[in-house]
């Protein structure tokens, strides 16, 4: 089993890379070569998903990737009218366009062997919406639509496609997004039913389950892993 995780240099992606090393050959990609080397993966490809991703697309084909985990993402906070065009394009390119393109490169091999797993790491903001994060929210919402449509297209080939939507996660990205917002860490915790942040390892273990044969009937799903945040307050 050849597994590729995008955005694996830190946070959720790094936790996933560590968790999956006992079930297959793990390959990673990200922008920081030194951090990727520290993952102890089978191999890596240095790539910025907001720019040229043709090298990574070739990497997917060459390595016969049959488990693709689109984890890399970027967050931006602010009113839509305050954002530069370049910022809007960068967020959509990283969070939605790149995953779709990378999936398109992995599908032929998965179809040939009549098996595959595609897992997109979305966000609870793509399910519920987040004020002043409209570009981020809509890019993650787009992943859910992509997941549902592809699950229908690929079901007969025993390829499953699912999205995991983490809530507030205890990562550098998650904590930085708190600093960018108008709320304090304590105020955000009070809005989470379980009064805690999700651990990256929780997302990693859910990925592992979705890859397993026990989860072969789960496809086209948008799974909220958010400590109850999506239920209400």
- What is the set of active-site residues? 136
Distance of alpha carbon 28 from alpha carbon 35, whole angstroms: 10
pLDDT digits (tens, 9 = 90+) for 86-106: 999 999 999 999 999 999 999
Q: Identify the CATH homologous superfamily for domain 2-225.
A: NAD(P)-binding Rossmann-like Domain (3.40.50.720)
Closest CA to 166 of 134, 132, 140: 140
Distance of alpha carbon 2 from alpha carbon 67, whole angstroms: 6
pLDDT digits (tens, 9 = 90+) for 151-198: 999 999 999 999 999 998 987 766 666 666 667 778 888 889 999 999
Average pLDDT value for residue range 7-32: 95
Query: Under a CB-based contact definition with an 8 Å cutoff, are residues 66 and 17 in contact?
Result: no
For the chain, the domains span 2-225
In sequence order, the 6+-apart residues with CB closer than 8 A to the CB of 222 are 122, 127, 144, 147, 148, 162, 163, 165
What pLDDT, on the 0 to 100 scale, is given for residue 184? 77
pLDDT digits (tens, 9 = 90+) for 186-233: 888 888 999 999 999 999 999 999 999 999 999 999 999 999 989 876
Distance of alpha carbon 129 from alpha carbon 229, whole angstroms: 12
């Amino acid at each position: 089993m050849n597994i590729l995780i995008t955005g694996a240099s830190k946070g959720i992606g790094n936790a996933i890379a560590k968790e999956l090393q006992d079930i297959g050959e793990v390959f990673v990609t990200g922008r920081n070569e030194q951090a990727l080397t520290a993952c102890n993966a089978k191999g890596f490809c240095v790539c910025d998903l907001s720019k040229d991703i043709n090298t990574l697309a070739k990497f997917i084909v060459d390595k016969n990737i049959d488990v693709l985990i689109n984890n890399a993402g970027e967050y931006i906070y602010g009113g839509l009218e305050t954002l530069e065009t370049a910022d809007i394009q960068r967020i959509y390119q990283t969070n939605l366009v790149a995953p779709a393109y990378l999936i398109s490169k992995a599908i032929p091999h998965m179809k040939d062997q009549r098996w595959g797993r595609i897992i997109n790491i979305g966000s609870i903001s793509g399910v519920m919406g987040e004020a002043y994060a409209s570009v981020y929210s809509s890019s993650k919402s787009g992943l859910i639509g992509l997941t549902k449509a592809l699950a229908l297209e690929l079901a007969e080939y025993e390829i499953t496609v699912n999205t995991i939507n983490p809530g507030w996660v205890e990562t550098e990205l998650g904590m930085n997004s708190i600093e960018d917002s108008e709320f304090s860490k304590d105020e955000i915790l009070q809005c989470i039913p379980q009064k805690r942040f999700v651990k990256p390892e929780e997302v990693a273990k859910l990925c592992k389950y979705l890859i397993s044969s026990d989860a072969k009937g789960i496809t086209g799903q948008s799974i909220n892993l958010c400590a109850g945040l999506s239920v209400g307050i």
